[in-house]
Structure 1
Amino acid sequence: MAKKLRMGDLFDGLPLDVIIHILGYLPTKDAVKTSILSSKWRNRFVLLYSFDFYDCLQNVSPANIDKFRSFVERLLSHTGTDLDKISLYAWEADRLDVWIPKLLSQSLKELVLGSERPYTLPDSLFSYQTLVSLKLDIGGEYVSSFPLRNI
């Protein structure tokens, strides 16, 4: 009698580097959702090199903003790799005071920051050694891009 194959069995057989490669092609919110595919995929998204939280925010209701903020802060504290790129948007500029120091502990190359309210960036951000590109949308008035170094 043939053994019935479960969906999770298909995913459990993949090596970790293949899982990370697959997740890298997904939008951030979909990469997070893959945690339900199997126990081996649970929380593997934290090993990604790039996160885009702008698109995630499109569907966050005002009632869930605190949960989303906590999720981002936990993720920034527990990423298993250095980050190449991250896009963050904070409805409250004070969240950037929490997020930027956590980002500066990574070997970050590209940073996209946004906030509805004006925000003064810390000087340490401009002297950060690995940061190559900084894109800003602060106060909803402009979008600027600053190439900081040649790659």
Structure 2
Amino acid sequence: MAIHASDAGDRVEQMIILTERLTELIALEAQAFEARRPQDAAQHQAETTRLANLYRHESMRVRANPKLVAEAPSELRLRLIRATEAFDAVLARQGRALEAAKTITEGIVRAIAEEVASQRSRAGGYGPGAAAKPATGAATAITLNKRA
């Protein structure tokens, strides 16, 4: 998949549109993670992936051959630079939101594992003289729903 442009100005305009749409989608994902609703981030995932691949491909093409955009009017190139800066800022925001979600998720999993371990170590025998059995240190499997 590639941008098919008639000239440098057309290519830059298309890259601006691509960058702005990708920025918008990633901002929506960041908002979903910040609101602790990661399931909402999934609704645009297919489009985000498609546009991110196109962006990566086009960025590599321009980096390899700067002449593809060199002839574009300076105001268009400046708009592309600004769109790219906004994109970078949104990526940083999304990174922070993802890191926070990861930290929370790991804490929840750790708390569940500790609770399971403590429940197992309390198991004891039956009768008036029964004592709690020491924990055996056996591994406990935890199954997670990948769609959650």
Scaled to the shorter chain, the TM-score interval is under 0.3
Q: Which has the larger radius of gyration?
A: 2
- So what's the TM-score if we normalise by structure 1? 0.26
Q: Which has the higher contact order (CA 8 A, sep 6+)?
A: 2
- So what's the TM-score if we normalise by structure 2? 0.26
Which structure has greater strand proportion? 1
